[in-house]
Amino acid sequence: MKLNLSLIFLSLFAMTGSMADPTVSEPETEEAIEQSVEEIRLIAPKEETSSVLVLPGSQVTREEPQINLIQELLDRNVITEESLNNQSNRVNSTTRSGGMGNGGDAVICPEKIEMLDSYEAGKLRFNINLNPENLEAPTWRSMVNVAVQRLERFDEVLATKLYDYSMEMVNDFEKFELYPNARGQHVYLGRDVIIEIDDSAHVSLPEGCILRQFISQRAPRFRRDFRYEFSLSIWELMDKQEQAMAILHEAWYRIMLENGATDSVAARYMNGLVASEFFDSYTFIDYIEEIKETELKEYIVPNTSEAIKQSEIKLDLKEHIYRAEDGMICAPNFKVQASIKKPYNLRAIIRGQDYVTNIQFQDVCFKDSRLRKVVLPVAMVQRERILRLPFAQVYFDEALSETPAMHFNEEGKLSHLTDIRASHLYRMYYECDGARSFDRMAGCESGPYNDRDSVIQNTSVIQFDGDEKLAF
């Protein structure tokens, strides 16, 4: 190399000398000039080299060298040379976020830092996108909301919990952004090395990358304890989406820990899945099949119908058998407290309405966080039971098949009955300010009463409007 450079400079010297010496004749044609330049090219080495020869009057644009993030953390003493190939300092986590706590891991590569969740999601070809609207300046809050809204489509109760847990952290990070030295309510963010916790149960890492403890989570013991500790040195080298993934990871992990998790495998999987565009193609049944393999014990459905007397319905994912039917999941021999009562008699006058309890329905079906169908026992329909709603009463008379059923709309409101003959359908009213009201019951003096002027007898067409009033 040194010899080749010397030859180049000798050639340049010879050319400049010939131009300075009037006794030396100049090339008379362009072809001669090009031949001289080609001779210099032949002298130069052909192999690529990092050395750059800059001729007078030329300009060279250099690319800025990329920061090696592993070296950056080595320089900051966040990681050590000895630890690069040594994972033996990872300690065992304790159950349910006690003791040392449970962790969140970062995959640190020379060119980027991402959550272990994101790396594993990439292996599964889940395309993580927490900014589908392509906002110019997405925030932690906007990105968390994208994941929450995706989950809410199938699981309203779990989505609410994911939102609440995530926003505890988002609120603290927004505070740190405005006041870097402020104390968080739930989060500690500092230049501390988080002790390695062995709760990841991962199977691989990208070549040339390392896994490091980034977050520790444990249930606070004292009033001023933090639930989460984040390493600032790693946090500030992550992009916004990966920071949002870190927040969501901790919220998912907290949910799984509450259900008995001892590692973060399911939390990482669900975080990567729900944060990805791939989740948009999921059906409700797909979702149920996924969560039943996690530590989650129950699928909880909030009740929105007056036909059911409990505020929420819980399906045991581990014990109860269920099947898929028309996009729903249906649980056979399922108990729900329905608003079905025995006929009005002297006992009811003395003790009040006598509602049937401990009913085991043939089938109870759910979809997208709503009750959609309840198949009644045939014997219940044959015994002159009464379906009691605030503004309607249905007197059962006969089951027309082996599967008499109540059906509910997408909002979980009672919409119609099938295979049931009613002896009487009554609209109900209340006495409010001295007048009958078919729309109001709060603050009324008395009621409800059967409206005998609008009674329909011996019918199997039983439908309700959006307010669960009889539609006829």
Residue 358 lies in a domain: yes
User: What are the structure tokens assigned to 247, written together?
Assistant: 């927040």
Element of type H or E holding 389: strand 386-389
Tell me the per-residue pLDDT of 371-420, one tens digit each, with 9 for 90 and over: 999 999 999 998 789 999 999 999 999 999 999 999 999 999 999 999 99
Residue 63 lies in a domain: no
Q: Is 392 left (phi over 0), alpha (psi -120 to 50) or beta?
A: beta
Residue 12 lies in a domain: yes
How many C-beta neighbours within 10 Å does residue 365 have? 25
To the question of pTM greater than 0.85 for the whole model, the response is no
pLDDT of 6 strictly over 50: no
pLDDT band at 78 (very low <50, low <70, confident <90, very high): confident
Helix, strand, or coil here: 163?
A: helix
Q: For residue 160, give every residue at least 6 positions away whose Cβ sits within 8 Å of its Cβ, in sequence order, or none.
A: 152
Residues 364 and 279 occupy one common structural domain: no
Residue 425 lies in a domain: yes
Give residue for tokens 């014997």.
379
**In angstroms, how far apart are the furthest CA atoms of the chain?**
136
pLDDT number for residue 108:
94
Residue 49 lies in a domain: no
pLDDT number for residue 351:
57
Q: How many angstroms separate the first and last alpha carbons of the chain? A: 97
Question: Which range, of 152-166, 243-257, 276-290, 371-385, averages the lowest pLDDT?
Answer: 371-385
Residue 318, burial from CB neighbour count under 10 angstroms (0-12, 13-18, 19+) = exposed
Report which residue type is found at 356: V
Reply yes or no: is the peptide bond before residue 22 cis, omega within 30 of 0. Answer: no
How many C-beta neighbours within 10 Å does residue 424 have? 17
Residue 414 lies in a domain: yes
Contact 115, 240 (CB under 8 A): no
pLDDT of 454 strictly over 50: yes
Residues 110 and 257 occupy one common structural domain: yes
Contact 388, 354 (CB under 8 A): no
What span, in angstroms and rounded, lies between the C-alpha atoms of 11 and 36?
9
Domain end (from 271, 291, 311): 291
pLDDT number for residue 354:
83
Residues 282 and 331 occupy one common structural domain: no
Residue 388, burial from CB neighbour count under 10 angstroms (0-12, 13-18, 19+) = buried
**CA 82 centroid distance within chain:** 37
pLDDT band at 68 (very low <50, low <70, confident <90, very high): confident
Residues 22 and 135 occupy one common structural domain: no
Residues 333 and 459 occupy one common structural domain: yes
pLDDT number for residue 332:
96
What span, in angstroms and rounded, lies between the C-alpha atoms of 310 and 374?
14
Q: Total domain count for the chain?
A: 3
Query: Average pLDDT in the 228-235 region?
Result: 96
Q: Domain range holding 7?
A: 2-43
What span, in angstroms and rounded, lies between the C-alpha atoms of 438 and 451?
9
Tell me the per-residue pLDDT of 204-218, one tens digit each, with 9 for 90 and over: 888 999 999 999 999
pLDDT number for residue 270:
98
- To 5 degrees, how large is the angle CA 95–CA 100–CA 106? 95
Residues 262 and 323 occupy one common structural domain: no
Q: How high does pLDDT run on average in the chain? A: 84
Residue 55 lies in a domain: no
What span, in angstroms and rounded, lies between the C-alpha atoms of 354 and 349?
10
Contact 131, 143 (CB under 8 A): yes
pLDDT of 30 strictly over 60: no
Residues 416 and 438 occupy one common structural domain: yes
What span, in angstroms and rounded, lies between the C-alpha atoms of 218 and 236?
22
pLDDT number for residue 457:
95
Question: Which range, of 30-34, 196-200, 292-296, 425-429, averages the lowest pLDDT?
Answer: 30-34
Give residue for tokens 């909301």.
145
- To 5 degrees, how large is the angle CA 140–CA 142–CA 148? 100
Residues 285 and 308 occupy one common structural domain: no
Contact 355, 309 (CB under 8 A): yes
Burial 97-130 (b: 16+ CB within 10 A, else e): beebbbbbbbbbbeeebbbbbbbbbbeeebebbb
Contact 107, 205 (CB under 8 A): yes
Domain end (from 291, 311, 346): 291
Query: Average pLDDT in the 79-103 region?
Result: 52
Tell me the per-residue pLDDT of 331-361, one tens digit each, with 9 for 90 and over: 999 999 999 998 876 555 555 578 888 889 9
Residues 116 and 258 occupy one common structural domain: yes
Domain end (from 291, 320, 353): 291
What span, in angstroms and rounded, lies between the C-alpha atoms of 7 and 49?
17
Residues 274 and 352 occupy one common structural domain: no
Contact 188, 230 (CB under 8 A): yes
370 to 184, 311, 313, 409: CA distances (angstroms): 37, 12, 9, 8
Higher pLDDT, 45 or 68: 68
Residues 79 and 16 occupy one common structural domain: no
pLDDT number for residue 347:
59
What span, in angstroms and rounded, lies between the C-alpha atoms of 90 and 98?
16
pLDDT of 274 strictly over 60: yes
Residues 331 and 410 occupy one common structural domain: yes
